[in-house]
Structure 1
Amino acid sequence: MKRLFLFLLYPMLCFSQQSLDGVEALFEKKEFLKAETLIKTVLETHPENLKATELLGDAYGHQKKWNEAIDAYKKLVDTKPNIANYHYKYGGVLGMKALENKLKAVGFIGDIKSSFIKAAELDKTHIEARWALVELYMQLPGIFGGSKSKSLKYAEELQALSKVDGYLAKGYIYEYDDEPQLAEKYYKMAIKEGGSLTCFDKLTKFYEKKNQPENAIKTIEEAHKKHQRNALHYQIGKVAAEYNIALDKGEQCLHTYIANYAPEDGVPKAWAHYRLAQIHTHKNNKKEALEQIEIAISQLPKIKAFRDQKEKVLAL
């Protein structure tokens, strides 16, 4: 009888697993509402399925349905309190809910902090939870428990797990605390240690914030030598256009970006045409600037920045 019961149950389990595999495919296509509907169908017959519950929380989160996501992850935390990732995700959506309503944010701080701390305690290798604590302790005012020393403590833990993450975390801390020399030092250490696009991007954005566009372009060029990504051509053009420097180089890079564009490059071609319009505006080339901004508007007509740029071009 037991074997018969298991035999009858097996097709149901297969159906459930196949359905959840379908959810992952929907996530990849960013069809989160369809994923939500499919997961709910699974949970109707298998309400105890924790994987489905977690995926439902993920689907809610992608749709910014924070209250529903909180409920889903809270169920996971209550059911399996020793799973670090459940606490991490619960703390994460509480944080997003707090950002949505800053007047009520104070009431969430305790639960957010305790969730991330619990995740870090349960999993000594949980990098994401430690990153969350680094950022949380730096961003919280002192009256609510903010602490640079605690942030640095978790940065040290990150460094023990991953030197690159540790260096990036320290760069973030010192940048946030307005200690630019130390921030620059650790971002450069992260590039030397890991050299990922993320590392280069952190240093590039740091230079942009510090109004050092020449250093930003130099960093992007170093990233391109290592990674050969077309998207980096756009980044050079963007900095050139925004800061009115290296305009010829920026123009050349933007034309290269457009000529070699592929969807995985991320930034639509319309934005490259917009940057070209900015560059030609800086050069007082009204005809070329107007041509480029008209292309940008034709491709993405609802972008306000494009329409504003057209007004600047017409005023030349």
Structure 2
Amino acid sequence: MKKLLLCLLVPVLGMAQQALDDVALLLDKKNYKQAETIIEPYALANPTNKRAVELLGDAYGYQSKWDAAIKQYKLLVALEPNEANFHYKYGGAMGMKALEVNKVSALMLIDDVEDAFLKAAELDSKHINTRWALVELYMQLPGIVGGSVKKSLKYANELEALSKVDGYLAKGYIYEYDDEPELAETYYKRAITTGGSITCFEKLANFYEKQQQPDKAIATIEASEKKHKRNAVHYQIGKVAAEYNLQLEKGENCLKRYLANYSVEDGVPKAWANYRLAQIYKHQNRKKEALKHIDLALAELPEIEVFSAEKSAILNR
């Protein structure tokens, strides 16, 4: 009898496993609503299936349904209290909710967010994402409720012990947030020298933009292009040129290259490249070309308000 039941159960279990794998694939492809539709009835009917519960929480989280995500992650923590990643996700969902509610409600959540991240860090001494979360949490919290550069640096040092690049990026973030630009620049540059990933170059380029140093931002983006050969870099150069009204010829050429070689993997829609070209042509008083490209941008994404505002600005020059 036991053998018969086992034979009957194996196909059912196999089907369930395949369904979970399919949902995970949908999440990877950013089909969040479809993933939710598939996993929700199964996870609610099987609340002790940790993978199903986690996938449902992830599907909610990717759609910013924070209350629903929190409920699933809280269940995960109860099911597996020694799994660091479940505490991390629980704290992260609460943290995201705190950003969307009023200050009083946010303050009521902060202790739970901190506790969840600290528990995750305690359970897994090599959990990089948790340490990043703590770095950001302690920098963004006011001192009166526990914010502290010293606490942030503690977890940045732990990150550096696990991954020098993450440690340097974390320290760059801390010093940038704490208005110490020279130290921030030093650590972002160390991250590039040590790792040289796309993220490292982007952090330094964004830092230069915030510091109103667009020439340095463009030089950093160009260095990234030489190393990584990504078409998306051409948009970034054009964006900085258009926003700061400098190196306009270079910006124009980069945006044209971006459009000529565009693929969906580049991330930024073609409409935004046309918008940046329109800005450049406006700076150059080339009204006809500016109108052509802003119309292309509006044809693709008519709901974007800055495109409409830009067309008005061009017409009124």
Same fold (TM over 0.5): yes
Query: Does the 8 Å contact 2:48/2:79 carry over to 1?
Result: no
Partner of 2:187: 186
The offset of 1:253, in angstroms, is 0.5
Counterpart check, 1:253 vs 2:254: yes
* Greater alpha carbon shift after TM alignment, 59-68 vs 212-221: 59-68
**Offset from partner CA, 1:146-168 (integer Å, 9 cap, x none):** 01111000000000000000000
Partner of 2:73: 73
Q: Counterparts in 2 of 1:174-213, with a 5 A limit?
A: 174-213=175-214
- CA distance in 2 between partners of 1:9 and 1:292 (Å): 61
Counterpart check, 1:5 vs 2:5: yes
- CA distance in 2 between partners of 1:109 and 1:148 (Å): 17
Give ranges in structure 2 of 5+ residues lacking alignment.
none
- CA distance in 2 between partners of 1:175 and 1:46 (Å): 46
* Greater alpha carbon shift after TM alignment, 118-127 vs 62-71: 62-71
- CA distance in 1 between partners of 2:147 and 2:188 (Å): 23
Partner of 1:101: 101
- CA distance in 2 between partners of 1:173 and 1:73 (Å): 29
- CA distance in 2 between partners of 1:151 and 1:125 (Å): 17
Partner of 1:155: 156
Which amino acid counterpart does residue 21 of structure 2 have in structure 1? D
Query: Does the 8 Å contact 1:230/1:260 carry over to 2?
Result: yes
Query: Does the 8 Å contact 1:19/1:42 carry over to 2?
Result: no
- CA distance in 2 between partners of 1:29 and 1:94 (Å): 25
- CA distance in 2 between partners of 1:301 and 1:39 (Å): 34
Counterpart check, 1:61 vs 2:40: no
- CA distance in 1 between partners of 2:43 and 2:280 (Å): 55
- CA distance in 2 between partners of 1:46 and 1:87 (Å): 21
The offset of 1:47, in angstroms, is 3.0
Partner of 1:42: 42
Give ranges in structure 1 of 5+ residues lacking alignment.
none
Q: Counterparts in 2 of 1:252-291, with a 5 A limit?
A: 252-291=253-292
The offset of 1:45, in angstroms, is 5.1
Query: Does the 8 Å contact 1:27/1:35 carry over to 2?
Result: yes
Count of aligned positions: 316
SS in 2 for 1:48: coil
Partner of 2:315: 314
* Greater alpha carbon shift after TM alignment, 164-173 vs 47-56: 47-56
Query: Does the 8 Å contact 1:170/1:186 carry over to 2?
Result: yes
The offset of 1:74, in angstroms, is 0.5
Which amino acid counterpart does residue 263 of structure 2 have in structure 1? A
The offset of 1:31, in angstroms, is 2.5
**Offset from partner CA, 1:144-192 (integer Å, 9 cap, x none):** 0001111000000000000000000000000000000000000000000
- CA distance in 2 between partners of 1:202 and 1:190 (Å): 9
* Greater alpha carbon shift after TM alignment, 38-47 vs 270-279: 38-47
1:68–1:290 distance in 2 versus 1, CA, 3 Å = same
The offset of 1:44, in angstroms, is 5.3
Which amino acid counterpart does residue 76 of structure 2 have in structure 1? L
The offset of 1:215, in angstroms, is 0.1
Which amino acid counterpart does residue 220 of structure 2 have in structure 1? T
Query: Does the 8 Å contact 1:66/1:96 carry over to 2?
Result: yes
Sequence identity percentage: 63
Q: Counterparts in 2 of 1:8-19, with a 5 A limit?
A: 8-19=8-19
